[in-house]
Chain A
Amino acid sequence: MKFWRTPLDADKMKIPRGELHIIVERCKGCAFCVEYCPRGVLEMSDEFNSKGYHPPKAVEPENCVNCDLCEMICPEFAIYCLTVEEEAVPAEGGKGS
């Protein structure tokens, strides 16, 4: 992660990581999760589920920070995040340091 000024506790900071789960068959293709994912993890798939909707697919799953917004906004209870073991943040020095 890039900091404008490296915090003193940078070595202790961790970026939360989420493990994305999509229940494809329950999806009705509203695209809310794709639109509102703040990390651009999702994209609408070209595939159809058996109801004929396009479910989302994770294109950049490693970017998921477990913010839960997709899970909260999904009207179908079809997507959720689980917390994954956090890794230490390799800090890069910002300009101000």
Chain B
Amino acid sequence: MKADPVGVRTGTFYLDGDRAAAEGAIAAGCRFFAGYPITPSTECAEHISERFPEVGGIFIQMEDEIASITAIIGAAWGGARSMTVTSGPGVSLMMENIGLAAMLETPCVVANVQRGGPSTGLPTMVGQADVMQARWGSHGDYEIIAYSPQSPQEAFDFTVKAFNMAEKYRTPVMVLLDECVGHMVEKVVIPPADAIEVEPRRLTDAAKGEYLPYAYGDDLVPDMAEAGMGYRFHVTGLTHDERGYPEMSVRCQDWLVPRLVAKIRQSADDIVEFDEENADGADVVVVSYGISARVSRMAIDLAREEGIEVGFFRLRTIWPFPEKRIAELAKKIKAFVVVEINLGQIFYEVERCARGQCETLLSPHAGGGVHDPEDILKVIEKGAKAK
């Protein structure tokens, strides 16, 4: 279905990534936002608080991030497309109920504008050290979808995608911006509403009394009911059967949790997005995402001037991870160079997928700033000498 024109502010704008993400959310039909102020994400909440009264959304600033994530889950079950935005410390607080959203299979979007950590760290300065938290942060087994925009334009585009994937797979989806992308101001083109595809909610059409909240088909995604539709359904964060009733058993756990994981894993080809440039035939492939991807481009240019065959692989989605393509490339190249503003997170994913077929090298950064392209270049040079 097409986006509701009420929420689409078509035109060309000069926007920061936080506000672009806000516009993406509104364009995708987000009409409930609960949040708590935290640098460097606050501009997104501020923008939504200004826009919502005119487009039919409810904005509420909650007492903390725990309340914010929980309120958006409640709102999703009340029939709204919902979102919250925060940064590292806030995501840490939200993790419990991101798990609830995964368990109840609640479509919702969480944007994390990453800053330097751990703890309070560098509130106003960039980091990319929350990517593993996004994947593994809540307890128990589940899969997540996460996008990583590298520009305000992508902050808009990927937030729309995040809402669509949340509805399609009934899962919380994370948009992992970083402080640089969140605060950088660039041209953002918002297309007309009829050019924006919006995934409708998978509402059940079962007869009343016959609806089973967690019965599923081949895509492993159950159809949803919303409160007030008359189905009088029950959902629980406890391990539950297809009626949504708690069942504390090995059998039921084995029926439920592998499906929660499989519904994302088996559709990875539909979800995973990456940009690839000159990777076939390269000796070294640089793997990066977010603001680091843009910094890497300069290092790649420098390396090419030195005659090194460098390819580029940019993650648009971080989770699910593009395991297949990384494994294929590993067989053909000498080395991967992973550029990220942390001390090795996606690096280990790449190394895992490479399975020793090539070298995997890290160009780390502890956070607070972006890489010096010269530092990345040194790692690329090292990679070119591998094997």
Q: Do chains A and B touch in the complex (CB under 8 A)?
A: no
Which chain A residues have a beta carbon within 8 Å of chain B's beta carbons? none
Chain B positions near chain A (C-beta within 8 angstroms): none
